[in-house]
A and B are shown apart, each in its own frame.
Chain A
Amino acid sequence: MSTMTASGLRPIRRSDQEWEIPRQGDMRVPAVLFATAELIEAMEDKVFEQAANVATLPGIIGASFAMPDAHWGYGFPIGGVAAFDPDEGGIISMGGVGFDISCGVRTLLTGVSADDIMARQKELADALLRHIPAGLGSTGAITLDPAEMDAMLAGGARWAVARGWGEAADLERTEERGCMADARSEFVSAKAKERQKREMGTLGSGNHYLEVQRVAEVLDPAAAEVYGLHLGDAVVTIHCGSRGLGHQIGTEALREMVATADRYGIRVPDRELACAPVHSEAGRHYLGAMRAAINCALANRQIITHLTREVFATVLPAARLDQLYDVSHNTCKVEEHEVDGRPRNLYVHRKGATRAFGPGHPDVPEALRSAGQPVLIGGTMGTASYVLRGTTEGMGKAFGSACHGAGRALSRRAAGKRWYGRQIIDQLAAEGIMVRSHSSRGIAEEAPGAYKDVTAVVDAADAAGLARKVVRLRPMICIKG
């Protein structure tokens, strides 16, 4: 399917944490990978092939980037970042965003200590599982009629807060201030809306979760202070996306772009790189629908935030859940970046990569601006998650982007064969981590051992200067979707 063979695409080491696949064949720019030698060794050849394939796309600027957690995705590698200039024929690609549009992470401070949580651990875990719809077939208490669906797709988290699910202060601490501009609900199909009608405020399944975590280590005290994180604090982290609506938009866009890439004379080395020029009807159509899906994800995480607050208000009324930040890791956004000394508006695709804007950037909330944007990295339910901060250096390295998580080391199939859900639950309980899920098999597939070492990934991002570590978080309660 590809014009490139993996054998010719071994990355060449440029520095301790930077590797390059030089321009060759149809590549318009080189591919640059940020990783240690160990992480590069562990990557499938498919990652190199996909990073090189992305480099062939029209209008790509600088390089095709892969983050330290890169793995084999659809067209783009997961952990892939690429920016396109529409005035140079730049494209938008569904594969550069993914099926779970605007999947992301939101972290809430709690104002209580990890010890306070541990004293009520079981009660809190049970209440969270009961109150927050999770797992396959779960539906929320909210059903949207067509007018509310359109209002949600236009308004995102702002819509949710206006309906009483959250606080105005949450919006200041959300990317795009809670509402992605230029969303076009009329470009979202009736099927996508139907799929979402009863899924607002649901966690979903697979690798999605809600965790109550302990600040286990402070690695950058100054930034941690700005973020309001102290050793021994408890925080809540929510990981989920745009649910059925995003999945359906992704499915339809892939099908459409496979058919239209030819029409626009774009030759792609892999069908899943199907794309359309930003300045085209198909491109505008996908952009409008994708932005509506971003709003759906922001609204969804906002409603789950509200449900979480309701649980805490009952079980642990002393807690006050103020939002630290909300960041998406499957998006395409228009951003101004300096290229060759001049500012340019680029369409930055981040597929399984987190935006990581540095200190002083106007898009970082004012209260956090001196430290840089919080970069929220999900780990596994048995190990750790991290909060990093964006850097000035990273802005020039990969358009202000960093890794997004641990990345799988074992397939679901292999993990399901190796572990039983009960065994994982008992093992983690012995380590003080309470796991709750409606699916035992789902837990086996998400076993900590099925993932790469998140610390190695985060260390590589830190060493490469993409983002700096601020705190390490350790789970106490994990609600798995």
Chain B
Amino acid sequence: MVERHRDRDDRGWEHFEHGADVGIRGFGPTVEIAFEQAALALVAVVADPETVRPETAVEFACRAPDTEILLVDWLNILVYEMATRGMLFGAFDVRIRGTRLYATARGERVDVARHAPMVEVKGATFTALRVAKDDGRWVAQCVVDV
């Protein structure tokens, strides 16, 4: 499993320690990119996102009272969609307008041999939940229950 990834200097994702579970963190120059990177970190708990082919596009929208809860809702939509569609996603395009999120996720059906999935994610939690701009860089993080 890749547990830290940076494809450009200004954006990336990583996992952080949390007891029995896993913390996920995305960062980037905008809150949208931080959310996209957090989604990649979520997928990386299950399998290496780079092995996922962007064959099918799925569109989502959600709304929350604040940006932090919006992150939890966004990640939980992905947990739900991956579970019920039997898919993994490997690429994301997120737009946020106020407290609404619109997103496109691209991926494919789980292929146990090629993706070598490790563990299911049960849900995103409010533990270590944080969406904030630190030194000009947006960070979006929380712990996910596995």
Contacts and interface: CB of A to CB of B under 8 A. Distances in A.
Task: Note whether A and B form a binding pair.
Answer: yes
Contacts of A206: 119-120, 146
B120 A136 contact: yes
Given A194-B84, A412-B146, A413-B22, A438 B112 contact: yes
Interface stretch (A3-11, A30-38, A251-259, A280-288): A251-259
Interface stretch (A70-78, A302-310, A461-469): A70-78
A355 interface: no
A349 interface: no
Interface string A391-432: 000000000000000011001111010000000000000000
A65 interface: no
Contacts of B124: 251
A255 B74 CA distance: 12
Contacts of A259: 65
A250 B76 CA distance: 11
Interface in B96-146: 110, 112, 116-120, 122-127, 129, 143, 145-146
Contacts, number: 113
B17 interface: yes
B118 A445 contact: yes
Contact of A414 (B17, B145, B146): B17
Interface in B13-72: 15-22, 46, 65, 69, 72
Interface in A42-90: 44, 71-74, 78
Size category of the binding interface on chain B: 35 or more
A441 B48 CA distance: 12
A378 interface: no
Given A99-B123, A441-B116, A408 B19 contact: yes
A397 to B, nearest CB: 25
A137 B110 contact: yes
A255 B117 contact: no
A272 interface: yes
Given A248-B80, A441-B1, A100 B86 contact: no
Q: A99, A194, A440 — which one has the most chain B CB atoms within 10 A of its CB?
A: A99
B86 A412 contact: no
B73 to A, nearest CB: 7
A379 interface: no
Interface string A436-448: 0011111001000
Contacts of B146: 205-206, 412
B41 to A, nearest CB: 12
Contacts of A250: 122-123
Q: A74, A250, A272, A414 — which one has the most chain B CB atoms within 10 A of its CB?
A: A74
A60 B65 CA distance: 30
Contacts of A131: none
A445 B119 contact: yes
Contact of B145 (A74, A248, A411, A413): A74
Contacts of B65: 259
Given A206-B146, A247-B122, A250-B122, A412 B84 contact: no
Contacts of A100: 122, 145
Contact of B19 (A137, A194, A251, A411): A411
Given A255-B69, A258-B69, A439-B117, A44 B126 contact: no
Contact of B119 (A73, A412, A440): A412
A259 B15 CA distance: 28
Q: B1, B72, B143 — which one has the most chain A CB atoms within 10 A of its CB?
A: B1
Nearest to B145: A99
A301 B59 CA distance: 35
A195 interface: yes
Contacts of A130: none
Interface string A89-133: 000000000011000000000000000000000000000000000
A442 B112 contact: no
12 contacts: A72-B18, A72-B19, A74-B143, A78-B19, A99-B125, A99-B145, A205-B117, A206-B146, A244-B83, A250-B123, A411-B21, A411-B22
Which 9 A/B pairs are nearest by Cβ-Cβ distance? A251-B123, A136-B117, A247-B122, A137-B110, A441-B118, A99-B122, A72-B19, A271-B126, A205-B120
Interface of A: 44, 71-74, 78, 99-100, 135-137, 139, 191, 194-195, 204-207, 244, 247-248, 250-251, 254-255, 258-259, 271-272, 407-408, 411-414, 416, 438-442, 445
Given A78-B19, A412-B20, A412-B21, 9 more contacts: A74-B126, A136-B119, A191-B80, A255-B76, A259-B65, A271-B126, A407-B20, A412-B146, A445-B119
